[in-house]
Amino acid sequence: MTEIAPSREVPLPRWVPALLSFVAGYVDMYTFLALFGLFVAQVTGSFVTAGAQLVVHDVGITGKVIAILAFLVAAALTAGLIGLIRNLGAVALPWMLAFETLLLAIFCVLLLTGPPVTGANDWHGVIAGLFAAMAMGTQSVIVRLLMHGVPQTNVMTGNMTQLGIESTGLLLAWWRLARDPGDRDNEREFTAGRARLIVVLMIAVGFILGAVCGAVAYAETGLAGAPVAAALVGALTLWSMWQLR
């Protein structure tokens, strides 16, 4: 099993951040379709839509602003919990994945058991979106603090930039290696660049696949498909616990 960074609380194969990216894309698509244009993973989108709605005097701005604040609060809370767990001498990753699972589960329960959401200003939808945004804020901090060297799994703008940088770097490393095949430094640079490119590419593809699957699931099953995201992170939580045995 190939690890993507040398220092981790739990050995981390490449498919783990890709799966989290899939979840982020899936959740973002569900909130966008079910909650009238709410972005909870790509928070930049919520900033843009909130700004636009402020100009056109749409009351739906309330849900967008609350989602942004919820993302921020969850990020701060998660960072604090990670520090506390580490101070207690425990491994943080399983606990934080369990926390994200809980937030996603609450989001799904609110969607499935509450009354139908009738608009962007419907408080039932606003509260559900709050927990989805918190889950994505938690995931963002998990990746930043517990997955050293891994790009963010729910911010694709930076990943697209990094994909361009790594692609160019790999091409230059290949050119240098082709000119001097016996140079060990060129060989190591090429190998490292290829590994970085694969990681970024898997995360980008994971998010795209998650968004596509989320759209298909919503079209075919409606809100019933939302728990898939919670189930995936829950399975990842169990996997991380198993790794510690």
pLDDT per position as a tens digit, 186-222: 899 999 999 999 999 999 999 999 999 999 999 999 9
Q: How confident is the model at residue 41 (pLDDT cuts 50, 70, 90)?
A: confident
Identify whether 8 is part of a domain: no
Identify whether 2 is part of a domain: no
Q: How confident is the model at residue 7 (pLDDT cuts 50, 70, 90)?
A: very low
Opening angle at CA 73, ends 161 and 68, nearest 5: 55
Structure tokens at 124: 């039932």
The residue ranking higher by pLDDT, 115 or 43, is 115
**Cβ distance 107 to 41 under 8 Å?**
no
Domain count of the chain? Answer: 1
Identify whether 3 is part of a domain: no
The pTM of this model reads: 0.90
Largest CA distance in the chain: 67
Identify whether 77 is part of a domain: yes
What percent of the chain is predicted at pLDDT more than 70? 89
- For position 5, what pLDDT does the model report? 38
Identify whether 171 is part of a domain: yes
For range 135-141, the mean pLDDT:
97
The H or E element containing residue 225 is none
The residue ranking higher by pLDDT, 10 or 163, is 163
Range of the domain at 72: 16-243
User: Which CATH number do you get for residue 173?
Assistant: 1.20.1250
Question: How far is it, in rounded angstroms, from Cα 122 to Cα 45?
Answer: 19
- 14-34 residue pLDDT tens: 899 999 999 999 999 999 999
| Residue 3 confidence (pLDDT) above 60 | no
Q: Can you say whether the dihedral through the CA atoms of 83, 84, 88, 91 is positive or negative?
A: negative
For range 77-86, the mean pLDDT:
97
Identify whether 217 is part of a domain: yes
Identify whether 23 is part of a domain: yes
Identify whether 34 is part of a domain: yes
